[in-house]
Structure 1
């Protein structure tokens, strides 16, 4: 692996968080699968395209993009070794020879200029240490007229798992998860901020649209609450209070999620921002 500047995220995604996502690969894909088709349609992937998947994680979107590109190829980049291990396992199992993965910091990775026709990302671009530098570097990797499409969280008011977690704010420090415009999960939540970042990074024809999708978080409220609180953000919140408060928070989250149980599954709505842009040329 080459030079890394985003050390905080590199440590997180090669520690507990990366291992948790890798272990629960299929479950996370079930949570986010509703955004796959809107993302890939917006990317306009065509036969023979060379696709770059930024923050590819366990490679689900990379493999989907490769199938759309047919005789093209797809490269998935991520900081997380545990998640990339799972991605490579899936590629071997599915015999997708046109898919490769590399552990890299997209902000500084030495891409060959114009090596890709399109770049995509599903819920990964929010964590760049320097968003303008990262998107500028991705732009260099795109051919003139190349496209980028990504999905990122928007304001939390219409995302049901976040609303449920906010119902614990008298028990847990939920404000530490971040706010729109701040660092972390919601750094690109404001469409105006996104347009500004991409414009400064040299893109044109920037478009933003709010989209919604339902994802399956578990069999029932108890299962979903355990999964949610076992994730990196949930574990971070629970780690800041004593055991009695943790137990109360778990019980309340189950109660808050219970109304979302339907026919043997617990499904929650997520609202996101779908962003598209082009490199000039």
Structure 2
């Protein structure tokens, strides 16, 4: 990475553009819906992080700050700092914290790969789906390690194999309409970059962490009130929008109808509930 890109505190320019453009605005505008999708992973993540009442917590890729605020409640005599590249999502995070009167929380804009953390400033680092997009994962995790005190803890969730996620299988059924074959290869840059078994463990060990462990965790989330609503929500998100932009309006209309048909069997009791599968990864910084 050239010095010019590092000088402004951002190593990953592609992600900075995405999360300060359509993608970030969409997430910020629909944060309540994304929380309904992902909140099933909150308790396993927080349990694994083991946050104490006086802990200083770092939330990597905090987005609109849901997990940061939850961490702050577990550390009433400590602090929780959320770090993210996205201006619109951080604005939403700050507004939510103010509305909830969460006083021991702070949100900062930055790229965790190169952010100038004070050495040993945190007891715990965590992330809910915020560690898959680094330009250099090994450098990013090493930088997080420097931010942790000796003996500090890291816990995060990241997607497991694409085909183990109901929403991905529904999208994959659109082959022949949308170019979905280019989306979701484990190990490739993007949300499934850490999906291959052992991938995250290898990177963390090389980045200076110890006692690395990964377990599979599954949770159901609410994606919409009915199949049409869920299909529109998914296809209007960043990945869906990227696929739709690759085809004409006729194919886009076909894709929306086909996806609604795929999601129909998941519609029960006024909601479309889809299963997501992730790795719950924990690690520690050496005590000395």
| TM-score for both structures, normalised by structure 1 | 0.99
Correspondence for 2:160: 154
Correspondence for 2:23: 17
Residue 34 (1) aligns with residue 40 (2): yes
Q: In structure 1, what is the Cα distance between the partners aligned to 2:245 and 2:214?
A: 36
SS at match of 1:126: coil
* CA shift for structure 1 position 181: 1.0
Match of 1:7 among 13, 22, 31: 13
Correspondence for 1:120: 126
Flag structure 2 segments of 5+ consecutive residues without an equivalent.
1-6
* CA shift for structure 1 position 2: 4.5
SS at match of 2:198: helix
Q: In structure 2, what is the Cα distance between the partners aligned to 1:65 and 1:250?
A: 37
SS at match of 2:64: coil
Q: In structure 2, what is the Cα distance between the partners aligned to 1:169 and 1:17?
A: 23
SS at match of 1:236: helix
Match of 1:219 among 210, 216, 225: 225
The superposition leaves residues 127-155 of structure 1 with CA deviations (integer Å, 9 ceiling, x where unpaired) of: 00000000000000000010000000010
Match of 1:268 among 265, 274, 283: 274
Task: Tell me, yes or no, if the aligned pair for 2:158 and 2:195 is still in contact at 8 Å.
Answer: yes
Flag structure 1 segments of 5+ consecutive residues without an equivalent.
none
Counting matched residue pairs gives: 281
Q: In structure 1, what is the Cα distance between the partners aligned to 2:150 and 2:65?
A: 26
* CA shift for structure 1 position 175: 2.1
* CA shift for structure 1 position 178: 3.1
The superposition leaves residues 110-136 of structure 1 with CA deviations (integer Å, 9 ceiling, x where unpaired) of: 111110000000011000000000000
Match of 1:235 among 241, 250, 258: 241
* CA shift for structure 1 position 97: 1.2
Correspondence for 1:204: 210
Correspondence for 1:66: 72
SS at match of 2:62: coil
Q: In structure 1, what is the Cα distance between the partners aligned to 2:200 and 2:229?
A: 35
Residue 81 (1) aligns with residue 87 (2): yes
Task: Tell me, yes or no, if the aligned pair for 1:22 and 1:83 is still in contact at 8 Å.
Answer: yes
Q: In structure 2, what is the Cα distance between the partners aligned to 1:50 and 1:210?
A: 27
The superposition leaves residues 193-212 of structure 1 with CA deviations (integer Å, 9 ceiling, x where unpaired) of: 11110011000000000110
Task: Tell me, yes or no, if the aligned pair for 1:2 and 1:109 is still in contact at 8 Å.
Answer: no
Task: Tell me, yes or no, if the aligned pair for 2:162 and 2:184 is still in contact at 8 Å.
Answer: no
Q: In structure 1, what is the Cα distance between the partners aligned to 2:282 and 2:184?
A: 24
Q: In structure 2, what is the Cα distance between the partners aligned to 1:191 and 1:103?
A: 31
Correspondence for 2:3: none
Residue 103 (1) aligns with residue 109 (2): yes
| TM-score for both structures, normalised by structure 2 | 0.96
